[in-house]
Amino acid sequence: MMSSDIQSTIASFTSIEQALDYFEIGYDSQFINQYRIELVKRFNGYLILEKPQDWFAARRALKNAYCKIQRSRLDKTTRQACRGCTTCQRR
């Protein structure tokens, strides 16, 4: 029952910022403007791979998408930490 509630909530969002705010994930507006399409595609992909059962599972999917894009931008030859990812757990 809870699963369909969270899925309908996610479906009602008209922007990725609404999703980030709903899931209480801090974000950099400039980053969102630059990587909006990639972030939306990755988040939707994670939701397709595993249907979120609750708010926490859906939040985890969005955080993973945001973090994945952040990490993919880092220089592979240095040991750099995420910069704009305000809620990153991989520091």
Phi-psi region of 11 (alpha: psi -120 to 50; beta: other; left: phi over 0): alpha
Does residue 51 sit within a domain? yes
Does residue 87 sit within a domain? no
Does residue 47 sit within a domain? yes
Q: Is 62 exposed, middle or buried (0-12, 13-18, 19+ CB in 10 A)?
A: buried
Does residue 86 sit within a domain? no
Task: Record the pTM.
Answer: 0.82
Instruction: List, in order, residues 6 or more apart from 28 with CB less than 8 Å away.
Output: 84, 86
Does residue 91 sit within a domain? no
DSSP three-state, residue 27: coil
CB–CB of 70/83 below 8 Å? yes
pLDDT in tens, 44-90: 999 999 999 999 999 999 999 998 898 888 777 776 666 555 555 55
Does residue 74 sit within a domain? yes
Q: Could you tell me the sign of the dihedral formed by the alpha carbons of 22, 11, 31, 78, in that order?
A: positive
Q: Which domain holds residue 25?
A: 5-81
Number of domains in the chain: 1
Q: Is 56 or 3 the better-scoring residue by pLDDT?
A: 56
